[in-house]
Amino acid sequence: MSEAQRRGDAVRLRVDIVTIFPAYFNGPLDVSLIGKAAARGDIEFAVHDLRRWARDAHRTVDDMPFGGGPGMVMKPDVWGDALDDIAGAGPATLVVPTPSGLPFSQELAARYAAQPRLVFACGRYEGIDGRVVEAMRARMPTDEISIGDYVLAGGEAAALVITEAVARLLPGVLGNASSAGDDSFGGAAGAAGGPRYMCGLVEGPVYTRPRSWRGHEVPGVLLSGDHAAIARWRRDMALRRTAAYRPDLIRALRDLDPRDQQVLAEAGFPAAGDGPGAPPARFPVGGEDMAH
């Protein structure tokens, strides 16, 4: 029992993970920010072996796909029994990682951080029989979530990615309360007090000591002590990096001030031919070319 639980404080988030590889989670849930949050009792984990709900001597969880095709499909009866037992107790959101799902985002992480309980159903092979999500949707909030446009071998890594993004948004988990609002997509998460310079943008470069390293200098403005100038510089750098790597986010921005527009114009945004479907813009993204 954690210190917080001994004191009677409520767990802020309970995470249940259903998988055929429980060992995948040995270690990652015990270290760093998540491990500390768990030790404090802010977050509580339970990892369940799906094979517990298998019905035959071989503990089979998959079968051949109807309609033919390569690979195997995870059985609905096994998943149904497991989720009945696990998700049935109290309010929870079921998260089913799949490359064909809704793209995961900082905004979704913030929504999950406000939930009492998340249940992850980690698929393998060709995925879970489609009727499982259909049936669960009728009973509880159920989200099919993709962590990116690529195909993993299983949902375990996706469950870890989502859990880490959510856990760091729980109150008291990050050392510095304003850090989340300061990060890339900070404004998108609606973080209270998040600085305007990160709203809808990815973060620019960051620096620490020494001031000079291998002939590269820290941008002078960061040493100036002028907080307004530093905030403006950070927004400039965020705009430039976002234009370079995520022009889709720049196109979604509203309320660009004259300085924002100047920075983007200097960076060549929008590039000739830029628009939906155009290749990403090609701009310098490091800090040095903008160093004061």
What positions carry a catalytic annotation?
Answer: 99, 126, 168, 183
Q: Which is nearer to ligand SAM, 145 or 201 (by Cβ)?
A: 145
Could you say which of 18, 37, 54, 98 contacts ligand SAM (CB under 6 A)?
98
SS3 (DSSP) at 240 = helix
SS3 (DSSP) at 258 = helix
Question: In whole angstroms, how close is the CB of 96 to ligand SAM at the nearest point?
Answer: 7
Q: Answer left, alpha or beta for residue 81, where phi above 0 means left and psi between -120 and 50 means alpha.
A: alpha
Q: What binding mask, one character per residue, do residues 129-148 give for ligand SAM by CB under 6 A, x or -? A: -----------------xxx
Partners of 146 in the beta sheet?
Answer: 103
Q: What binding mask, one character per residue, do residues 172-211 give for ligand SAM by CB under 6 A, x or -? A: ----------------------------------------
Rounded Cα–Cα distance for residues 101 and 147 (Å): 9
Q: Does residue number 155 form part of the binding site for ligand SAM (CB under 6 A)?
A: yes
- Residue 154: closest CA among 58, 20, 17: 20
Dmax (CA) for the chain in angstroms is 70
Question: In whole angstroms, how close is the CB of 108 to ligand SAM at the nearest point?
Answer: 13
Rounded Cα–Cα distance for residues 178 and 176 (Å): 6
Q: Does residue number 163 form part of the binding site for ligand SAM (CB under 6 A)?
A: no
Q: Does residue number 154 form part of the binding site for ligand SAM (CB under 6 A)?
A: yes
The residue count of the chain comes to 292
Contacts with ligand SAM by CB under 6 A lie at 97-100, 122-124, 126-127, 146-148, 150-155, 158
